Amino acid sequence: MSHAHDKTPNNSAAESARETVEPAPAFTPALRKQIEGFLTRYETKRSAILPALHAIQDELGWIANEHIEILDKEFGLHRVQVREALTFYSAYRQKKPRKHTIQFCNNIVCCMVGANEVIDQIKGHIKKYENQGVEPPFSVEGVPCLCVCDGAPAMLVNKDRHLKVTKENIDSILEKYASLPG
């Protein structure tokens, strides 16, 4: 039993190392301008937190602690408040994502019509890449309902919605994305 615990700090250390190694991309001027627009667009400055985080993620792919500090210092958004929002909402990524992120619905209806099998299949593909020693172009995660239950099983690849994804057609979809640039 104790061995499981012994590993813990190592794991975390490895993960934190990964975090520090990954450099945070810098803000572009367009992004700054966009965030400045949010600051005055809503009744309170604090309301700009969510749109600002969305903008950073759209532009840079993920949100690093450095970005929060910029929001704090340059845009006057309280860092604790920003971090609270960042960690509360599941939309925001705190790590650099892979080329394509797949969000697969695994809620009731999708699960009933076979979402888990398709997810397993995608994971199998990712494993294949890893076995070859290549950084897989996809990451996959199960998400709660995407609200397209009439097209179950449904998934989002980046910002594209795919309906009626089955074990049969998933391969061709993945192939298409793998050839696309990130």
Rounded to a whole number of angstroms, the minimum distance from the CB of residue 124 to another protein is: 20
162's enclosing H/E stretch is: strand 160-162
Q: How far apart are CA 59 and CA 69, in angstroms?
A: 17
Rounded to a whole number of angstroms, the minimum distance from the CB of residue 98 to another protein is: 15
Rounded to a whole number of angstroms, the minimum distance from the CB of residue 132 to another protein is: 25
Sign of the torsion angle spanned by Cα atoms 27, 29, 31, 37: positive
Omega prior to 153 cis, within 30 of 0: yes
Rounded to a whole number of angstroms, the minimum distance from the CB of residue 9 to another protein is: 6
Residue 24, exposed/middle/buried by CB under 10 A (0-12, 13-18, 19+)? Answer: middle
**Given the complex with another protein, which of 32 and 93 has the nearer CB atom?**
93
> Which residues form the interface with another protein (CB under 8 A)?
1-2, 4-5, 8-9, 11-13, 15-16, 19, 41-51, 53-54, 65, 68, 78-81, 83-85, 87-95, 103, 106-109, 111-113, 141, 143-150, 152, 156, 159, 161
Rounded to a whole number of angstroms, the minimum distance from the CB of residue 90 to another protein is: 4
**Given the complex with another protein, which of 132 and 157 has the nearer CB atom?**
157
159 Cβ contact partners less than 8 Å away, ≥ 6 residues apart: none
**Given the complex with another protein, which of 107 and 136 has the nearer CB atom?**
107
Helices (runs of H) and strands (runs of E) counted in the chain: 8, 4
109's enclosing H/E stretch is: helix 108-112
**Given the complex with another protein, which of 12 and 171 has the nearer CB atom?**
12
**Given the complex with another protein, which of 113 and 126 has the nearer CB atom?**
113
